[in-house]
């Protein structure tokens, strides 16, 4: 995709989330919205380059626009990984400078890299030299005892100097000691004003805000206040219809609202293909549990799929039976 097209797509994006935003999740999200920018789970450069785990890069052509997120801290290895991602057809390569997990820190990448912006700049430069697709960064406002109002502008300055044009900022610090990854998503306070200030200070960069944003109304408020984009994580996963069904019309001014019941029907051929290839139903339907959250029949839909999708004979008929909870409740 062109840079301009990706800038437009990035007005709203679904965050990269480990164990959640796999290819089945992204296919579902793409049916709900034609426009939003989708991200893979983080894929580590060692897994691709040393481990040869190229299956981690598999995706459906229907998912475009889609970006891959890489984790790593070795410029040469990240450059090789970025090449593999470009060859697979991704529209963007994103470097993770925000994940606080222990597993990530031990590999010296993720949020710990906020401490060494020069290393990140070297990584980004190596990736840019290796590929023609855009290289972007997702970061935190700082880690541990760093002062975000000092560290974040310095970090963005390093990025801008090597030609990074688009970045996503998670508006929380990451505490690398004492907090779990889950706690790091909730406990450190959000600092939206600082991220908005960064947009004013780095007006030439395309900056998206991330962290704690749970509704389209909140996303629109950030855009109206001057942010270029908004990235939504857990809310888009647990309540996908609330975030994505109206996104094309309200955020992009295009298209019609999608209908979750119709989207279930659209998922059936995809599920058939997955099952015929040896896949299991629950690998797809686990991402569909929240599709009717807050709507009549949602509990029956969720319960039926939870109880039956893992059975050996589970197939598309299982999904159709679960949908009866919703259609009957709406009748």
Dist CA 247 CA 11 (whole Å): 10
The active-site residue out of 25, 85, 99, 245 is 99
Active site residue 245: no
> Can you read off the two tokens belonging to residue 280?
């299991």
Parallel, antiparallel, or unpaired for β 92-97 and 66-71? Answer: parallel
Neighbours of 79 (CB within 10 A): 21
User: CB–CB of 36/231 below 8 Å?
Assistant: no
Return phi, psi of residue 15, to 5°. Answer: -60, 150
Dist CA 302 CA 291 (whole Å): 9
Which amino acids are annotated catalytic?
99
């Amino acid at each position: 995709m062109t840079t301009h097209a990706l800038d437009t797509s990035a007005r709203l994006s679904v965050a990269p989330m480990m164990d959640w935003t796999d290819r089945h999740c992204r296919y579902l999200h793409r049916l709900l919205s034609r426009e939003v920018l989708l991200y893979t789970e983080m894929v580590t450069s060692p897994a691709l380059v040393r481990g040869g785990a190229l299956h981690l890069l598999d995706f459906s052509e229907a998912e475009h626009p889609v970006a891959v997120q890489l984790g790593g801290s070795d410029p040469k290895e990240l450059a090789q990984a970025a090449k593999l991602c470009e060859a697979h057809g991704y529209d963007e390569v994103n470097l993770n400078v925000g994940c606080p997990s222990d597993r990530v820190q031990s590999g010296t990448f993720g949020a710990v890299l906020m401490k060494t912006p020069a290393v990140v700049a070297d990584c980004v430069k190596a990736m840019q030299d290796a590929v023609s697709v855009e290289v972007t960064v997702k970061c935190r406002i700082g880690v541990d005892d760093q002062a975000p109002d000092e560290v974040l502008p310095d970090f963005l300055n390093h990025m801008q100097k090597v030609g990074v044009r688009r970045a996503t900022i998670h508006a929380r610090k990451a505490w690398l000691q004492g907090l779990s990854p889950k706690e790091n998503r909730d406990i450190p306070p959000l600092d939206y004003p600082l991220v908005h200030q960064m947009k004013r200070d780095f007006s030439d960069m395309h900056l998206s805000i991330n962290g704690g944003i749970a509704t389209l109304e909140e996303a629109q408020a950030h855009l109206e206040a001057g942010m270029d984009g908004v990235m939504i994580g857990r809310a888009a996963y647990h309540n996908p219809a609330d975030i994505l069904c109206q996104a094309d019309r309200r955020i992009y001014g295009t298209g019609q609202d999608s209908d979750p019941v119709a989207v279930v029907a659209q998922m059936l051929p995809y599920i058939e293909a997955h099952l015929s290839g040896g896949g299991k139903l629950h690998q797809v339907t686990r991402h569909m549990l929240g599709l009717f959250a807050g709507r009549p029949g949602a509990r029956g839909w969720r319960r039926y799929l939870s109880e039956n999708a893992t059975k050996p004979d589970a197939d598309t008929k299982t999904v159709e039976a679960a949908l009866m909870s919703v259609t009957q409740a709406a009748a």
